Copies of this chain bind each other. A is one copy, B any other.
Amino acid sequence: MNVASHTKKPGTTRIQREKRQRILASALDVFSTHGFRGSTIDQIADAAGMSKPNLLYYFSSKEDIHRTLIEWQMEKWLSPLKALNENGDPLKEVCGYIRRKLEMARDFPKESRLFANEILQGAPRIREMLTGELNRLVEEKAAVIQNWIDREELNPCDARHLLFAIWATTQHYADFDVQVRIVLHLEEGDQSHFEEAARFLENLFCKGLKRR
């Protein structure tokens, strides 16, 4: 009997675990470059080197693959903000957060584009995640930042808009990679601009946040 289609996660067997991983890796490739609707099961199956029915033996539908993928990536996605430590030095903490986000954009651009595609198109499949997990985390960390401001360790500013600005500027290097490379006249593999970006952003946000 078809085990995989009953139990969504398990992967009891070695083969099941391996194949599911291979499929998710290919799905990340495909979904991140074409969005959900623009991606086909055939594309994912091809990329994973297996037939469509075979792929559908491991995941019950296109939605199933997408959902599993998003859940699988969610922790990595939120981890940089989770690491923001209220007991650390405010400026250092914010700079550290920016650095981590920028490293994510450099090392995991597909993951960034996966979420970008989804949110850009109205987040129909991850709404609950935004109103739930993300919202709680932002609530918590915005309070931390507000606390720093109240204690006069940071220049007054809206904590949530600060988070938006950090997300936007860092993710930009992953989500709009094509444009960035064209404007900076960079080759495909070149990642030298991430150091310039880190310097620029650290400078920008530090000047904006440091009390004098």
Contact = CB atoms under 8 A, between A and B. Distances in A.
Interface of A: 33-38, 113, 116-117, 119-123, 127, 130-131, 134-135, 138, 155, 157-158, 160-165, 167-169, 171-173, 175-176, 178-180, 182-184, 196-197, 199-201, 203-205, 207-208
Contacts of A117: 35, 120-121
Contact of A38 (B37, B134, B167): B37
Given A120-B117, A130-B178, A160-B183, A203 B197 contact: no
B165 A204 contact: yes
Enumerate the 3 nearest inter-chain pairs by beta-carbon distance, A residue then B residue, closest first. Answer: A37-B38, A168-B172, A161-B200
Contacts of A120: 113, 116-117, 120, 175-176
Contact of A200 (B127, B131, B162): B162
A34 B123 CA distance: 11
A203 B196 contact: no
Given A169-B169, A208-B203, A121 B34 contact: yes
B121 A38 contact: yes
Contacts of A33: 121-122
Contacts of A158: 196, 199-200
25 contacts: A35-B35, A35-B38, A35-B117, A37-B37, A37-B38, A116-B120, A117-B120, A119-B175, A120-B120, A120-B176, A130-B178, A130-B179, A135-B183, A155-B207, A157-B203, A161-B200, A163-B183, A164-B197, A165-B169, A165-B204, A168-B168, A168-B169, A168-B171, A169-B169, A204-B205
